[in-house]
Amino acid sequence: MLLIFLLAVIALLVIVNDFMRKRSYRWKKLSEFPGDTPLPLIGNGLQLGFDSDESAHKLMALWKKHGKTNFRFTAGSEDWVLLCEADDVATILNHATELSKPLERNVAMKPFFGNSVSSSEGEKWRLTRKLMTPSFHFNTLEKRVDDVNSYCTQLFKHFDQFEGDRLVDIYKYLRPYMFDILCHSLMGVESKLLDNPDSSYLEASGKVIRIVTQNYFSYWRSIRPIFVLTPIYREMMEAIRTIRKTTTDIITKRREILKAKLPEIDSNNNSNKYDDDGIKTNNHCLLDKFLLGQTADGEPIPDEMISDEVTLVCYTGHYTTTMTMAHTLYCLSKYPEIQEKVLEEQRYVLNNNLNKNPTNQNLNEMKYLEAVIKESIRVIPTVTKIGRQLNNDLKFKDGRVAPAGSSVIIFYDAMYQNPKIFPEPEKYNPDRFLDTMHTFAFVPFSAGPRNCVGFRYAWVVMKSTLSNLIRRYEILPGGPGTEPQFAYRIITESINGVQLRLRKRVL
Distance CA(111)–CA(308), nearest Å, equals 10
Other beta carbons within 10 Å of 379: 20
Q: What is the mean pLDDT of the segment spanning 157-183? A: 94
CB 71 within 8 Å of CB 62: yes
Confidence (pTM): 0.93
Of residues 253 and 23, the one with the higher pLDDT is 253
Query: Average pLDDT for residues 124-132, to the nearest whole number?
Result: 93
> pLDDT, tens digit, for every residue of 388-442?
999 999 999 999 999 999 999 999 999 999 999 999 999 999 999 999 999 999 9
Q: What's the CA gap between 172 and 242, in Å, rounded? A: 18
pLDDT at residue 7, rounded to an integer = 63
Indicate whether 8 pLDDT > 70: no
CA dihedral (215, 220, 221, 227) in degrees, to 10, reads -140
Instruction: Give whole-number Cα distances, 20 to 16, 24, 240, 262, 334, in Å.
Output: 6, 6, 42, 64, 54
The domain made up of 76-504 has a fold known as Cytochrome p450 (1.10.630)
Percent of the chain at pLDDT exceeding 70: 91
Q: Averaged over 202-214, what is the pLDDT?
A: 94
Q: In whole angstroms, give the CA distance from residue 58 to residue 475.
A: 33
3-state secondary structure of 25: helix
pLDDT digits 0-9 by tens, 269-292 = 444 444 444 444 445 799 999 999
Question: Quick one: pLDDT band at residue 454, thresholds 50, 70, 90?
Answer: very high
The residue-averaged pLDDT of 193-205 equals 95
* Known binding positions for heme: 452
| Residue 138 pLDDT | 87
Give the model's confidence band at 386: pLDDT under 50 very low, under 70 low, under 90 confident, else very high: very high
Tens-place pLDDT, residues 210-252: 999 988 887 666 677 888 888 889 999 999 999 999 999 999 9
> Which amino acids are annotated as binding site, given as ranges?
452
- Residue 65, pLDDT above cutoff 80: yes
Q: Please state, rounded to an integer, the average pLDDT across all residues of the chain.
A: 90
pLDDT of residue 16: 60
Q: Which residues of 390-419 are buried (b: 16+ CB within 10 A; e: fewer)?
A: beeebebeeeebbbeebbbbbbbbbbbbbe
CA 388 – CA 353 distance, rounded (Å) = 47
**To the nearest 10°, the Cα dihedral for 445, 310, 232, 201?**
110
